[in-house]
Amino acid sequence: MKNTILVILCVLVGQLGNAQQKPPAKTTSTTLPKLTVTLGGSKSGNISVAQMQKIVDSPLVVKDEKGIAYPLKSFRINYTFKSTYKDEETDKIREVKDFRAYDFNNTDRLSEDWRNSIKDNVKKEDEMLINNVVVKLKNGKSFFAPELKLKVQ
């Protein structure tokens, strides 16, 4: 009788141990889409002053290789340009590289102030880098898209 009770106890303890184990996680291979970022249809590369003035009003667009667009959550603009100042010690005009940056959230385009400033002041050798581009995937998760770099020629 003791052996029977002992066997029943062992079986029950074994069943309790199995009940505590988590089922194996489902492995789903999610392939991330290959994304492309454009502004006014322009991809990274060289651009003219006139083209920059034209596309700066356009929304930033992120699409995958199938042409499916993804909504933007945020992005950063980094704008580098040359400016001049008068050196008071030497009385000479000096040229320096200047830099402006701003983070945009819950929008797909630059603010009106940024757009107007770029349209009014863009010149050769200016560079616009749009990075930290975060899009929302279909599953609700966020994903970094590649940067967009435009150099004015």
Amino acid 32: pLDDT: 81
Paired strand residues for 151: 46, 127
More confident residue, 4 or 38: 38
Residue 147 CB neighbours (<10 A): 15
Instruction: Give dist(CA 112, CA 60) in Å, integer.
Output: 14
Report angle CA 98, 118, 84 to the nearest 5 degrees.
35
pLDDT band at 14 (very low <50, low <70, confident <90, very high): low
pLDDT, one tens digit per residue, over 45-82 is: 999 999 999 999 999 999 999 999 999 999 999 999 99
Q: Is the pLDDT of residue 18 over 80?
A: no
CA distances from 4 to 10, 17, 72 (A): 10, 20, 67
Q: pTM of this prediction? A: 0.77
Q: CA 108 to CA 62: how far, in whole Å?
A: 10
Q: Which pLDDT band holds residue 31 (cuts at 50, 70, 90)?
A: confident
Model pLDDT, residue 127: 98
- Given this model, what pLDDT does residue 105 score? 98
Q: Is 22 helix (H, G, I), strand (E, B) or coil?
A: coil
Digit-coded pLDDT (tens) for 84-137: 999 999 999 999 999 999 999 999 999 999 999 999 999 999 999 999 999 999
pLDDT number for residue 11: 59
For residue 138, what pLDDT is reported?
87
